[in-house]
Structure 1
Amino acid sequence: MSESVILLREIPTATGHVIAHLTLNSPKTLNSLSLPMVELLQRYLDDFKSRDEVVMIFLDGAGEKAFCAGGDIKRLRSDAIEGDHGREFFAKEYRLDYTIHNYSKPIVVWGSGIVMGGGLGLLGGASHRVLTETSRIAMPEISIGLYPDVGGSYMLSKAPKPFGLFMGLTGCSVNAADAIALGIGDFILENDAKHQLLANFLTVDLTKDAHQHVSSVLSQMAADSESIEPRMMSKREDIISLCSGDDLQTIIERFEKLDTDDRFLSGSKSKLLSGCPMTAHLVWQQIQRAPSMTLAEIFRMEWVMSVNCLAGPDFQEGVRALIVDKDNEPKWQHTSVSSVSADEVAAMFELHEANPLADL
């Protein structure tokens, strides 16, 4: 019998309670989220919510390379070609993310290695988000014709301006120090400290003030955040110059004119200008819209956006170019950001059918 896509270990604590240790178990795919993984995680979290003996959840990924590299986009593309535009997958994935955001018991996510897309959705909503010197965090959807989903509208709009916008437009990879500054991480620990951290949790009484006690354990073990040189936030002035203002086209033109020898900035420019023009508009819109919305409304909006993305040609073409054929030459439906009409953008936020997240 094959091993489960989610491993569960219930670890007894010194007080006779249990810490539920969940592990994403698909290291060959960098723990990319499949529908069975999402469904099993949801089932476990629903179960733990009503079990008094479970006092904390600890979530990590199998292997050394990644916590979670995102959703299984190759499978989503295959399904989209067959006419399935991700309705069930996105509904269940976003419901899981919403559950994590609103969970009553502490959820500690160990975000070492690659944390991208759907992986950031799991990390972002957790009560205690732990990163290490190996963490590489990104929302690189502009390269595949999607957009920063899984609550990305919420996370990027809450980040200090204009850094969330920069991250969404360029798909850049940031490290743990950046993530703390962006508000998408809470603690930095040494990568080899995980087992000691779990051992320390087992000695603490988590039956009362659990969140506070978990924070205390993490604070005592936290590494000096200044020991990691930020990748993105070390370019603060450049990013502010590039991304400030209230006009997307002006920002795109600044990137086009950017002449730099800096590898991070030049790489970010390249990803934006070779990326999907529609995605740039979706990133702009989601960050503009999210501050006036509840989290439930954000996930409902993102479900509509995602279904529409999978129904259109850009997602299929982006995944083909990056993942399937690997020619890195996507032929987007628009040749430039300026050639996307306002009506086309507005249509991505409209879907005349029942929203499966209406009950959130």
Structure 2
Amino acid sequence: MPHSVEFLSLPFASHFKLGCIRLNSARTLNALSLEMIEAIFQQLHAWQEDPYVVAVLIEGDGNKGFCAGGNVVDVYRSIAEQNDHGAFSLQYFGREYQLDQLIHEYRKPVICWGHGYVMGGGMGLFMAARYRLVMPSTRLAMPEIKIGLYPDVGASYFLNKLPEHIARFLALTAYQVNATDACELGLATHYLCDEAYSELLDQLAAGILEDNSHEHVAQHIERVLHGFTMSDDLPLLKPELISHEKEIKKVMSGDIVNIHHSLKSFEVDSQSLMSARENFLKGSPLSACLILEQLNWGKGKQLAAVFERETVLSVNVSVHGDFCEGVRALLVDKDQKPVWQHSTVLEVSKESLASYFNPAPTVTELRSCQPN
């Protein structure tokens, strides 16, 4: 893992420091490997105890995106080729969710520069940050239905902060949210120009803080960000989700069978919304059922409980669900022809669905062997 993640110390308000985490694997759209996750986790713990590092910036290398997700091919190979019965899957997903939770609960302000593609595991990092910056290039998405998984990395927590029909639509269709919609929905906190990156760092470095208190650090960050969001040069994108909210609400009502029937006949004057419809219809029927079940369960749940349940679900789905077939078809063989376990959501029984939420004896044994 040479240099797949870099750690920098940048100037912040005179003599303080901004810790910078740079995902540095542009070739893979900065997909998160277990080694990257472990390195970031350890560095964040070190910075949390450093009085001179008063805030953290997370960014991704390359012009295509911040992070297109987790390195799920490694999980696939551990199951399909090494037949490890989910040992690596538990290690990978467990540590990824621990990292996401650490960022959610971090004692210092975390800023995430969400340019380009921010998907899957990238959304886990992005949504955990206090300041979530988007720009015209940004496309936020949870595309797990396409690989037989489900929106994880805390999505059962943060998607449930959205209106129910929007949360369902994003989770079931892999729809890519633009910057305007992201801000309107609260997925993002600030809208900047893509070209503002260097100036942002310069302005964060300028000025003087009286002390390193969380309040004063946050005030400085917010003053700087406010200036960028008020720029006359900021190109505003047309909101799409908001403008089609009535139609989306209609097709996302009821249970998964109702949603399936509604999406089959869904027609709007938007290519991206129609592409989202196709993602659902071609995606894993098992995943669709799991997604709705998990979203319904997650309403009102605390973050720790969400990650606990997601860990169990992710291991079960990766070992026994459509995950391996989805990753094979989309990312390994790339034939784009997954053979799902069920041809339609109507075939997924309630008993089968429930089994994915129960820790199997194998998973329970594996978890007992994992380090804290």
Using the TM superposition, give the Cα deviation of residue 269 of structure 1 relative to its aligned residue in structure 2, in angstroms: 1.5
- Distance across 2 between alignment mates of 1:262 and 1:37: 37
Report the equivalent of 1:11: 10
Alignment of 1:63-142 (within 5 A): 63-81=62-80, 82-84=82-84, 85=86, 86-142=89-145
- Report which stretch shifted further, 15-24 or 200-209: 200-209
Residue 279 (structure 1) aligned to one of 281, 287, 300: 287
- Distance across 2 between alignment mates of 1:158 and 1:284: 15
Check the 8 A contact 2:56/2:108 in 1, yes or no. Answer: yes
Amino acid at match of 2:329: A
Q: Deviations over 1:163-184 (max 9, x none)?
A: 0100001111111112122322
Cα distance, 1:226–1:182 mapped onto 2, change above 3 Å: farther
Report the equivalent of 2:334: 326
Using the TM superposition, give the Cα deviation of residue 233 of structure 1 relative to its aligned residue in structure 2, in angstroms: 2.3
Q: Deviations over 1:246-295 (max 9, x none)?
A: x2211111111224453123212111111001111111112111123210
Q: Deviations over 1:29-65 (max 9, x none)?
A: 0000000100010011000001101011111001111
Report the equivalent of 1:233: 242
Match status 1:244 vs 2:249: no
The normalised TM-score by structure 1 is: 0.94
Check the 8 A contact 2:286/2:321 in 1, yes or no. Answer: no
Using the TM superposition, give the Cα deviation of residue 13 of structure 1 relative to its aligned residue in structure 2, in angstroms: 3.3
Using the TM superposition, give the Cα deviation of residue 8 of structure 1 relative to its aligned residue in structure 2, in angstroms: 1.4
**Long gaps (5+) in structure 1:** none
Q: Deviations over 1:57-100 (max 9, x none)?
A: 11100111110000112222111212342110111100000000
- Report which stretch shifted further, 89-98 or 205-214: 205-214
Match status 1:343 vs 2:340: no
Report the equivalent of 2:226: 219
Report the equivalent of 2:30: 31
- Distance across 2 between alignment mates of 1:137 and 1:15: 34
Using the TM superposition, give the Cα deviation of residue 161 of structure 1 relative to its aligned residue in structure 2, in angstroms: 2.4
Partner-residue secondary structure (3-state), 2:299: helix
Check the 8 A contact 1:49/1:104 in 2, yes or no. Answer: yes
- Distance across 2 between alignment mates of 1:259 and 1:219: 39
- Distance across 1 between alignment mates of 2:349 and 2:152: 22
Q: Deviations over 1:124-160 (max 9, x none)?
A: 0101100111001110000100000000111111112
- Distance across 2 between alignment mates of 1:45 and 1:76: 24
Give me the CA root mean square deviation: 2.0
- Distance across 2 between alignment mates of 1:164 and 1:18: 37
Check the 8 A contact 1:188/1:223 in 2, yes or no. Answer: no
Check the 8 A contact 2:287/2:322 in 1, yes or no. Answer: no
Report the equivalent of 2:182: 179
Identity %: 36
Alignment of 1:231-310 (within 5 A): 231-245=240-254, 247-260=255-268, 262-310=270-318
**Long gaps (5+) in structure 2:** none
- Report which stretch shifted further, 146-155 or 223-232: 223-232
Partner-residue secondary structure (3-state), 2:148: coil
Check the 8 A contact 1:91/1:356 in 2, yes or no. Answer: no
Check the 8 A contact 1:242/1:255 in 2, yes or no. Answer: yes
Cα distance, 1:249–1:137 mapped onto 2, change above 3 Å: same
Cα distance, 1:72–1:358 mapped onto 2, change above 3 Å: closer
